């Protein structure tokens, strides 16, 4: 059981354009491909890795709530939704969390070849642990079901 790397963080914001521009212009990231989730957003890349996921906060956005859950957005215009880490040894993590009595949720996203496991830290921050998808993986936590998304064309990066 081990963490391989920090994978990404997700921001919920009504300032999608400004947030994407900040990470592009100030931080030097590029905008790139994002799976066809059924809610609007952007992915910002560092090299070939999507490091910042931007979720567009809209009134009555049931698709985003179904995927990410309901969370308030801070008065500053956005809020940290979750921190994700790439991991190995799914079964060991499931056993460890179960032994600690920590509730967790899981889902598979075959298009991304991922098995996602979600748990909250003591401060209420959602932690997403990402494991390689395998049909042999078992879901032991609350089953969020299989998430099928559709592919979308890459978004060209804008020149600044």
pLDDT digits (tens, 9 = 90+) for 54-95: 888 875 677 777 777 776 666 555 577 788 888 888 998 899
- At 5-56, the pLDDT tens digits run 888 988 888 888 888 898 888 778 899 999 888 888 999 998 899 988 988 8
Instruction: Point out which residues pair with 50 in neighbouring strands.
Output: 45
Close Cβ partners of 47 (under 8 Å, ≥ 6 residues apart): none
State the CATH number of the domain containing residue 100: 3.10.180.10
| pTM (predicted TM-score) | 0.60
Q: Which residue has the tokens 């567009």?
A: 56
- For the chain, the domain total comes to 1
Measured CA to CA, the distance from residue 111 to residue 96 in angstroms comes to 27
Q: pLDDT category, 123, cuts 50, 70, 90?
A: low
Nearest to 17 by CA among 36, 34, 31, 35: 31
Is residue 152 included in any domain, yes or no?
A: no
Within a domain: 84: yes
pLDDT confidence of 159, banded at 50, 70, 90?
very low
Domain assignment present for residue 159? The answer is: no
Q: Map residue 69 onto helix, strand or coil.
A: coil
Residue 141 lies in a domain: yes
* The pLDDT of residue 157: 47
Cβ-defined contacts of 62-68 (< 8 Å, 24+):
63/37, 63/38, 63/39, 64/39, 67/37, 67/38, 67/39, 67/147, 68/10, 68/12, 68/39
Residue 160 within any structural domain of the chain: no
Is residue 151 a part of any domain in this protein? no
The separation between the first and the last C-alpha atoms of the chain, rounded to the nearest angstrom, is 43
Query: What per-residue confidence (pLDDT) applies to 104?
Result: 92
In a domain, 157, yes or no: no
| Structural domain range at position 70 | 2-146
The residue among 9, 149, 152 whose CA lies nearest residue 67 is 149
Residues 6+ apart with CB under 8 A from 31: 20, 24, 42, 43, 44, 45, 155, 157, 158
């Amino acid at each position: 059981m081990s963490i391989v790397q920090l994978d990404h963080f997700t921001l919920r914001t009504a300032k999608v354009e400004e947030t994407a521009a900040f990470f592009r212009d100030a931080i030097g990231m590029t905008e790139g491909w994002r799976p066809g989730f059924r809610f609007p957003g952007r992915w910002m890349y560092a090299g070939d890795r999507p490091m910042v996921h931007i979720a567009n906060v809209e009134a009555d956005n049931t698709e985003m709530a179904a995927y990410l859950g309901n969370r308030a957005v801070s008065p500053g215009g956005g809020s940290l939704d979750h921190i994700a880490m790439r991991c190995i040894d799914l079964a060991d993590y499931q056993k460890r969390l179960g032994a600690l009595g920590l509730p967790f949720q899981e889902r598979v996203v075959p298009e991304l070849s991922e098995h996602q496991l979600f748990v909250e830290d003591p401060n209420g921050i959602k932690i997403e642990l990402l494991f390689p998808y395998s049909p042999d993986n078992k879901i032991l936590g609350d089953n969020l079901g299989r998430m099928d998304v559709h592919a979308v064309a890459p978004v060209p990066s804008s020149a600044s």
